[in-house]
Structure 1
Amino acid sequence: MKSNSRSNLVFGVIPSELLQNPWEFIRCCRRGVPGHWVRLVIDTTGQQALIAYALGVPPTQCEVLLNTPHLNLSDSEQFLDTVRLLQKVTDVWESEQRAQEWLHQPITALGGSKPGDLFDTFTGRQLVSRVLDAIEMGEFS
């Protein structure tokens, strides 16, 4: 995962251990992700619309989540899973610009869907992750 080597943070805020260790992931979801993490990830990635979509809120209402002390369990899990997948997209494409382009174009391996359009469900994110795994293995791009 792309991280700040000094502090080992993904997108400048989320400890990489949290995204890699299932027990830490679960504990954080149960405690609730701090709303300011959502703000920092959006500021770092520029992905407000995609994150709002993944959380099931209109981008204009995303501000409510950003000002929440802690997200609920469901929103925390959706958010962290989305962040983990966004990081994977960036890692696979080795460029934020190429990752952005890939997220927003139809992909044959996804039945012609755009990867970003599948971030709203766990199963959709799994499908995107599987395609990224195949790309890493050199099966297709």
Structure 2
Amino acid sequence: MIKDSHQTTEHYKKLVEVLGKDHVKETINSPYDFIHIAKKGISSSIVKNFKDYFNISREDTAHMLNISSPTLYRWIKAKKPLDRNYSILLFELTDLFLYGIEVFDSKENFNKWLNLPNTALGGIEPHELLEVPGGISKVRDILGRIEHGVYS
């Protein structure tokens, strides 16, 4: 069985590079590794790496993590270890954004797509789903359909 491009070793190496090799020392081979790594605790500094790499404002990053911007600022400033669930969510968002960039061939094109109403999502803009339970997987499903040429 052929793996999708977002599930390759190179994809996960890029994910570790984006979040910071000094923060994510383990090898990632699948999304299940996100859970194992998150249990050990990760510095909130990876949030800064995420937002800087993808050119996302602190406000938008906080919104995706379902926290306030001042709270996110305090966490990063104090280098507070992230709770397991926030760590996993950040891994999943990074994974999704890298996949989106692979599908659309650039950060700019993916960011434009994230902010356009999508018929396959009931007219909702994909970025609106990133903060709701199950939203990341819905956006990932649409990206998979686009990658495989299915109308979305």
Using structure 2 for the length normalisation, give the TM-score.
Answer: 0.77
**For residue 98 of structure 2, what is the amino acid of its counterpart?**
Q
Match of 2:37 in 1: 28
Mapped contact 2:19–2:46 kept (Cα < 8 A): no
Q: Tell me, yes or no, if structure 1 residue 51 matches structure 2 residue 61.
A: yes
How much has 1:118 moved relative to structure 2? 0.4
Aligned partner letter, 1:121: V
Unaligned runs of 5+ in 2: 1-5
**What's the counterpart of residue 69 of structure 1?**
80
**What does 1:1-141 correspond to in 2, within 5 Å?**
8-10=13-15, 11=18, 13=20, 17-18=27-28, 20-48=29-57, 49-67=59-77, 68-140=79-151
In the other structure, the counterpart of 2:3 is none
Conservation of the 8 A alpha-carbon contact between 2:114 and 2:127: yes
The whole-number CA distance in structure 2 between the counterparts of 1:90 and 1:50 is 18
Cα distance in 2 for residues equivalent to 1:76 and 1:31: 10
Q: In the TM superposition, what whole-angstrom CA distance separates every residue of 1:45-74 from its partner, at most 9, and x where no partner exists?
A: 112343211211133432123233310011
Work out the number of aligned pairs and report it: 135
SS in 1 for 2:38: helix
Do the aligned partners of 2:43 and 2:81 also contact (CA within 8 Å) in 1? yes
Moved over 3 A (4+): 14-17
Output the CA distance in 1 between the equivalents of 2:32 and 2:119. 35
Output the amino acid matched with 1:75. Answer: Y
Q: Which whole-Å deviations, capped at 9, do the CAs of 1:81-129 have from their partners, x for residues lacking one?
A: 1111111111110111101100111111111111111001241111101
Using the size of structure 1 for normalisation, the TM-score is 0.83
Instruction: Report Cα offsets for 1:20-54 as digits up to 9, x if no partner.
Output: 42442111111122211111111111123432112
Between 99-108 and 44-53, the greater mean CA deviation after superposition? 44-53
* 65-74 or 84-93: bigger deviation: 65-74
Q: Aligned AA for 1:9?
A: K
